[in-house]
Amino acid sequence: MIFYKTEEEIDLIRASARVLAQAHGEVAGMIREGITTRELDRRAEEFIKDHGGKPSFKGYRDFPFSLCISPNSVVVHGFPSDVALKSGDIISVDCGVELNGYHADSAYTYPVGEVAPEVLELLAETKKSLYLGIEQAVAGNRMGDVGYAIQNYVEKRGYGVVRELVGHGIGQKLHERPDVPNYGKRGSGLKLQTGLVLAIEPMVNLGTKSVVQEKDGWTIRTKDLKPSAHFEHTVVVRKDKAEILTSFEYIEKALQ
């Protein structure tokens, strides 16, 4: 079943999204050479709990951390670790917050120190594709319009769009129907209606679209070991323009 949200429910998701955005800002301000991703995870969990929320990911299907932190060739679902970040790395930080019974979910990929120009370009283009997908999340469009906008943009630039992992509906559950693929055909799929809340999250590889799962049962890595970028917002379908509920505002302030 697909759950369309009332304005009251959207307000509750918006409140979760505000804490989530601030938690991302806390993490963003810590990212530098020499810090471990486990330290980032601890800070995010502490901040979320201090602001009345719960980390959506911790304990979800037995996931053991509050953040998914995915460096370099890891696409998503990476485990925080005691390995220190080094110059040239990129890391995707994916976080969810549950507050008052409703979830919000977002992700951002960061460069660490001096990163190769082609990798910085991958980050910028993946972020751009997220907003192009969001532009299509309006009532009357189809789900395929969202995926097509993302796929068409990044594949023209020679990148690979991951197929095995997709965005999703979100609300009282972290993952709800429908799936939100980052590829598709215009005019195909579910007709979008006002009140549908979606996590749109392009996962884009510098090389091919192929991925593999590691033995931990969570970590997804590019098959060719080339870098991957991941950006995500929680949005609500509206009549004329999608409303973005999450925010990168605090991240961008921390990175200045």
In whole angstroms, what is the distance from residue 71 CA to residue 85 CA?
9
Q: Is 62 annotated as a binding residue?
A: no
Question: What's the full length of the chain, in residues?
Answer: 256
Domain 7-255, what architecture? Answer: Alpha-Beta Complex (3.90)
Is 233 marked within a binding site? Answer: no
Mean predicted confidence (pLDDT) in 179-183? 98
Nearest to 172 by CA among 103, 229, 115: 103
Across the chain, mean pLDDT equals: 98
What is the percentage of the chain residues whose pLDDT exceeds 70? 100
Residue burial 139-149, b: 16+ Cβ < 10 Å; e: rest: eebbbbbbbbb
Q: Is 145 annotated as a binding residue?
A: no
Instruction: Write b or e for each residue in 9-24: b if 16 or more Cβ atoms lie within 10 A of its Cβ, otherwise e.
Output: bbebbbbbbbbbbbbb
Model confidence at 39, pLDDT cuts 50, 70, 90, reads very high
94 appears as a binding residue in the annotation? yes
8 annotated among ligand-binding-site residues:
no
Ligand-binding site membership of 230 (annotated)? no
The answer on whether 201 is annotated among ligand-binding residues is yes
CA distance 221 to 217: 12
- pLDDT for the residue 79: 97
- 84-133 confidence digits (pLDDT tens): 999 999 999 999 999 999 999 999 999 999 999 999 999 999 999 999 99
**What does the pLDDT look like over 201-253, one tens digit per residue?**
999 999 999 999 999 999 999 999 999 999 999 999 999 999 999 999 999 99
